[in-house]
Amino acid sequence: MKTVLITGCSSGYGLETARLFHAKGWSVIATMRTPREGILPRSPHMRVVQLDVTDPDSIAAALAASGPIDALVNNAGIGVVGAFEATPMAHVRKVFDTNTFGVMAMTQAVIPQFRARRSGVVVNVTSSVTLAAMPLAAAYTASKTAIEGFTGSLAHELAAFGVRAKLVEPGYAPSTRFAHNAGIDIADLIPETYAAFAGPIFEAFANPPLITREGDVADAVWQAANDLSGQLHFPAGADAVALARAC
């Protein structure tokens, strides 16, 4: 039985991905910064482990508790929507700590075991903002675009050892708590000078023609983790697929 470690499983994409891999017969290590009870199947093949991807000690403890794994899914992330001019640099750093450096730290921590076994896969969940620029998301886009370049380079680097690296690019999902973990109010990031510009954008977000569902992302992560073709990019959701085709 293969084992997958998934970060950010308390809700949204991570939670749905953990459920899918378990249903597909994998052993799942579902990590959360603050573990929640009762949201995942009770099973000997489903374990919840505390993990803060911004804390080196937490990473080391979680991996020690997990034992050997076959796949790492870097899903944990925080969102930020607003005018970049109004976004405190301290918050920009917080976004990068989780979305960029957290992914890199987790990946670096698991590479030795993958390389030693000459097998394994790292799946990094980014966003469709890397496929087409979206306004009022400059810091978030930057944090995710960095992981796109990182993963593309890493895929070449690890291929020599039989290890794969993949990207899953979810589209816009109104049902997910995009900025829930951001710790900052969107209203604070839209100053009056940007109100006229931001209004139509938020109206469009409220009624998107195409959306991404949590199951779309879980399916794409599953495909990426099991892909042996060399494909790097896996857009997830109808809107992300449409963007990828248009690029």
- DSSP H stretches of helix in the chain: 12-23, 56-66, 89-96, 103-117, 138-159, 195-206, 214-226, 238-246
CA distance 50 to 76: 12
Across the strands, what pairs with 168?
Answer: 125, 234
CA distance 170 to 94: 21
3-state secondary structure of 95: helix
| Number of other CB atoms surrounding residue 240 within 10 Å | 30
Active-site residue set? 140
CA-to-CA separations, 218 to 14, 95, 215, 245, in angstroms, rounded: 8, 23, 5, 20
